[in-house]
Amino acid sequence: MQLSSDVQIATAGYYQLRWTSETAEATPFQLQESRSEDFKSFKIINQGYDLASVISGKANGDYFYRIATSANDRSHLSNVIKVTVAHHPLKNAILFFIAGAIVFFTMLVFILKGNREKIS
């Protein structure tokens, strides 16, 4: 099994994990998440037959993932991948909102002022 992520640093608030199955038969997978690379404590965040999962709603920090499955009375673990969640700072979001509001209201003033001059 090979586990991969569409990003290594997630700033958009979501990311997708994908994995491949080497067996032809359908076997259930467990997607495990841990805050440490050694997986001494982990939680199962998805179980089933899917080969991908979208993760969202995570706080800033490092997250480690692996896939576990059982086939032929043997358990198999995938590679471990790390995804760092680093949301954009709130300051940047506020600045972009203010800049957009300024542009919006400036355009609105020009549109209304232009209409009045043509009508008179």
pLDDT tens figures, 57-86 = 999 999 999 999 887 778 889 999 999 999
**Same domain, yes or no: 74 and 119:** no
Give the range of the structural domain holding residue 26, as residue numbers without chain letter: 3-87
Per-residue pLDDT, 73: 75
**Same domain, yes or no: 51 and 66:** yes
Q: Is 74 helix (H, G, I), strand (E, B) or coil?
A: strand
- Structural domains counted in the chain: 2
User: Does the pLDDT at position 23 exceed 80?
Assistant: no
**Same domain, yes or no: 23 and 81:** yes
User: Does the pLDDT at position 118 exceed 80?
Assistant: no
**Same domain, yes or no: 99 and 72:** no
Q: Which of 61, 64, 22 is nearest to 39 (CA)?
A: 64
* Residue 22 pLDDT grade (very low, low, confident, very high; cuts 50, 70, 90): confident
Per-residue pLDDT, 1: 82
pTM to 2 decimal places: 0.75
Whole-number average pLDDT of the chain:
89
| Tokens at 44, concatenated | 């199962």
* Residue 92 pLDDT grade (very low, low, confident, very high; cuts 50, 70, 90): confident
d(CA 120, CA 118): 6
**Same domain, yes or no: 51 and 61:** yes
**Same domain, yes or no: 36 and 68:** yes
**Same domain, yes or no: 80 and 106:** no
| Tokens at 76, concatenated | 């198999």
**Same domain, yes or no: 7 and 53:** yes
